[in-house]
Amino acid sequence: MYHMVSIILLFYMSSLDITGYIETRPYVLWGDSTRVNGFTRGWIEGRTAARLYGAQLGLELLVPYDTLFGLGVRHDTIGVSRCAVWVGPENARISIGKQRIDMGTARVFRPLDVFNATNYFEPGYERSGVSSVYGYYAFDRVSSIRGIYTPTYDWQHTTVGISIRTTMFHNDIGISGIHNADRFSTLVGGEIAGELGVGYWGEYVFVQDSVEDFSKFTTGLDYSFPLRLYGMIEFFFDGSGVDDPALYDYSELLNGTRQTLAQQYLYCSLSTIPLPFDVFRPSISALINLIDNGMVLIPQVSIMPFENTDIAVGSNIFIGSRESEFKNIVLFDGAVYVWLKTYF
Alpha-helical (H) ranges within the chain are 2-12, 65-68, 251-254, 325-329
- The tens digit of pLDDT for each residue in 244-278 reads 999 999 999 888 889 899 999 999 999 999 887 78
pTM comes to 0.90
Residue 74 has pLDDT above 70, yes or no: no
Q: Where in the chain are the domains?
A: 1-79
- The tens digit of pLDDT for each residue in 144-185 reads 999 999 987 666 678 999 999 999 999 999 999 999 887 779
The answer to whether the beta carbons of residues 174 and 184 sit under 8 Å apart is no
Amino acid code (one letter) for 49: A
